[in-house]
């Protein structure tokens, strides 16, 4: 069997490696358009923060290892332009104008996602960046090193924007953030958002929410983000307003798409074409809370889905239940974590959501070093089910969220969660963990 994979990042290389491990003499070909494979994309902000590390430190496994040790036919610089699902081939270009045509028995589309750039003037000027692949990281790192960058403007206020805010601040830059929508992290309750706002203020980050952006201008080496009512200046601009699934190849091949244009896959990662799988940021997934399709482009899902594809086409049947919408990030000294549905999402999916928002201490009564931790918990009044949780705090927020994430997979009620034996010792929490306090408060409202 000939297994061909388009894309050599998390999902693609996970699938390639595991397929070869499952069946060592399987023919596995990976076609990767860039020169980078298997790197920690999520690590880029932290790498950029540190002038003493090279961006290539983020490479987890080099192309030669895949080729020589694992026997994978890994071709970098190979851009696929068309999938011919009828004749089961992919065609494209390599080495500046040479064309290739590769036949497959089974195909995996793992083309990832690409950063969104608005269709506005000036977004293609030098010094305006996005950050999704290693080449982007390399460009940003080189730019900061070679240019006299003192101020940066970040357009967007999501995970990447906030992580890059910390990274650029660590490099000594003055950082301003800006976006059209009026609130930072609109999915989060105000009492949690305010902790993040305080943290950004402490570090002198400009948070300019609610400013419609008109264009970027260049003025003697200074870039200006011109909004309807505000102008922000800097030597570099990062556009971090989100990503979209790279599903155009699939779409042109007649494969069905799901939410937000991601490639629709079933629980075995198969697309609407019997011989074509999709995995990673280009593909959709089921949400374990709603049971509906969703699109969550995150690394764990990409790796897991890559493995599942390899298992499924080498004879082990694997069905992935889905994602819980868990996401975590760090911004300066704060940990931010979420899993499941926000109140607005819960309403959209027909639940009758109730929320409790509490502030608690991260450690026991009278234990030194305790800090504030804020928890939101959302439940469904009709069924009693736990629907989601969000946490913000200086310690323990990220690892704590794994508990409600498991509860969401198990379809637990808030009452059942409130009875869980979450353990206690004074350096780590009050006797009632803040999540239990939130669950107890939520129960009263349900």
Residues binding a second copy (CB under 8 A): 10, 40, 42-43, 46-47, 50, 53, 57-58, 60, 288, 298-301, 303-304, 320-330, 335, 337, 339, 364-368, 396, 398-410, 412, 416-417, 419-428, 431-433, 435
Q: With respect to a second copy, which residue has the nearer C-beta, 58 or 216?
A: 58
In whole angstroms, the minimum distance from the beta carbon of 369 to a second copy comes to 10
In whole angstroms, the minimum distance from the beta carbon of 8 to a second copy comes to 16
Q: With respect to a second copy, which residue has the nearer C-beta, 235 or 326?
A: 326
Q: With respect to a second copy, which residue has the nearer C-beta, 249 or 436?
A: 436
In whole angstroms, the minimum distance from the beta carbon of 186 to a second copy comes to 20
Residue tagged active-site, from 42, 165, 227, 282: 42
C-alpha 190/C-alpha 335 separation (Å) is: 16
Q: With respect to a second copy, which residue has the nearer C-beta, 127 or 322?
A: 322
Question: How far is residue 97 CA from its own chain's centroid?
Answer: 33
Q: With respect to a second copy, which residue has the nearer C-beta, 111 or 390?
A: 390
From the list 283, 274, 266, the residue with the least C-alpha distance to 6 is 283
In whole angstroms, the minimum distance from the beta carbon of 286 to a second copy comes to 11
From the list 144, 133, 6, the residue with the least C-alpha distance to 80 is 6
HEC string of the chain? CEEEEECCCHHHHHHHHHHHHHCCCCEEEEEECCCCCCECHHHHHHHHHCCCCCHHHHECCCHHHHHHHCCCEEEECEEEEEEECCCCEEEEEECCCEEEEEECCEEEECCCEEECCCCCCCCCCCCEECCCCHHHHHHHHHHHHHCCCCEEEEECCCHHHHHHHHHHHHCCCEEEEEECCCCCCCCCCHHHHHHHHHHHHHCCCEEEECCCEEEEEEECCEEEEEECCCEEEECEEEECCCEEECCHHHHHCCCCECHHHCECCCCCCECCCCCEEECCCCECEEECCCCCEECCCCHHHHHHHHHHHHHHHCCCCCCCCCECCCEEEEECCEEEEEEECCHHHHHHCCCCEEEEEEEEECCCCCCCCCCEEEEEEEEECCCCEEEEEEEEECCCHHHHCHHHHHHHHCCCEHHHHHCCCCCCCCCCCCCCCHHHHHHHHHHHHC
In whole angstroms, the minimum distance from the beta carbon of 270 to a second copy comes to 17
Q: With respect to a second copy, which residue has the nearer C-beta, 58 or 131?
A: 58
From the list 389, 401, 387, the residue with the least C-alpha distance to 330 is 401
From the list 378, 359, 381, the residue with the least C-alpha distance to 370 is 359
In whole angstroms, the minimum distance from the beta carbon of 316 to a second copy comes to 11
Active site residue 282: no
Q: With respect to a second copy, which residue has the nearer C-beta, 179 or 304?
A: 304
CA-CA-CA-CA torsion sign (160, 165, 171, 176): positive
Q: With respect to a second copy, which residue has the nearer C-beta, 78 or 417?
A: 417
From the list 2, 64, 19, the residue with the least C-alpha distance to 37 is 64
In whole angstroms, the minimum distance from the beta carbon of 181 to a second copy comes to 23
In whole angstroms, the minimum distance from the beta carbon of 278 to a second copy comes to 18
What are the catalytic residues? 42
């Amino acid at each position: 069997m000939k297994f061909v994979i388009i894309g050599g990042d998390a999902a693609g290389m996970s699938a390639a490696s595991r397929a070869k491990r499952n069946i060592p003499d399987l023919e596995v070909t990976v076609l990767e358009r860039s020169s980078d494979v298997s790197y920690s994309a999520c690590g880029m902000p932290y790498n950029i923060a540190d002038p003493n590390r090279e961006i290539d430190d983020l490479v987890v496994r080099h192309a030669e290892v895949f080729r020589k040790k694992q026997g994978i036919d890994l071709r970098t610089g190979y851009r696929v332009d068309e999938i011919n699902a009828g004749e089961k081939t992919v065609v494209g270009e390599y080495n500046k104008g040479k064309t290739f045509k590769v036949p497959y028995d089974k195909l995996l589309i793992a083309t990832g996602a690409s950063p969104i750039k608005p269709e506005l003037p000036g977004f293609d000027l030098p010094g305006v960046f996005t950050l999704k692949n290693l080449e982007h990281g390399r460009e940003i790192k080189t730019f900061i090193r070679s240019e006299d960058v003192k101020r940066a403007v970040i357009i967007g206020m999501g995970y990447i924007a906030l992580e890059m805010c910390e990274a650029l601040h660590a490099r000594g830059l003055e950082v301003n953030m800006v976006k059209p929508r009026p609130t930072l992290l609109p999915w989060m309750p105000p009492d949690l958002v305010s902790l993040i706002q305080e943290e950004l203020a402490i570090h002198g980050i400009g948070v300019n929410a609610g400013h419609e952006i008109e264009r970027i201008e260049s003025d003697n080496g200074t870039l200006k983000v011109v909004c309807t009512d505000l102008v922000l200046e800097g030597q570099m601009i990062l556009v971090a307003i989100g990503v979209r699934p790279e599903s155009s190849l699939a779409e042109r091949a007649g494969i069905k798409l799901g939410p937000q244009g991601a490639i629709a896959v079933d629980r075995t990662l198969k697309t609407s074409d019997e011989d074509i799988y999709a995995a990673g940021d280009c593909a959709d997934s089921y949400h374990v809370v709603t049971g509906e399709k969703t699109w969550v482009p995150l690394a764990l899902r990409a790796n897991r889905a890559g493995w599942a594809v390899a298992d499924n086409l080498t004879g082990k049947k694997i069905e992935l239940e889905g994602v819980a919408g868990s996401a975590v990030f760090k911004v300066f000294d704060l940990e931010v974590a979420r899993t499941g549905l926000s109140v607005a999402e819960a309403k959209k999916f027909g639940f009758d959501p109730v929320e409790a928002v509490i502030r608690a201490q991260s450690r026991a009564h009278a234990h030194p070093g305790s800090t504030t931790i804020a928890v939101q918990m959302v439940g469904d009044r009709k069924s009693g089910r736990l629907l989601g949780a969000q946490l913000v705090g200086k310690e323990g927020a990220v690892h704590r969220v794994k508990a409600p994430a498991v509860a969401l997979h198990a379809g637990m009620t808030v009452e059942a969660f409130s009875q869980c034996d979450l353990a206690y010792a004074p350096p780590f929490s009050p006797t009632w963990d803040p999540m239990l306090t939130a669950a107890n408060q939520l129960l009263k409202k349900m």
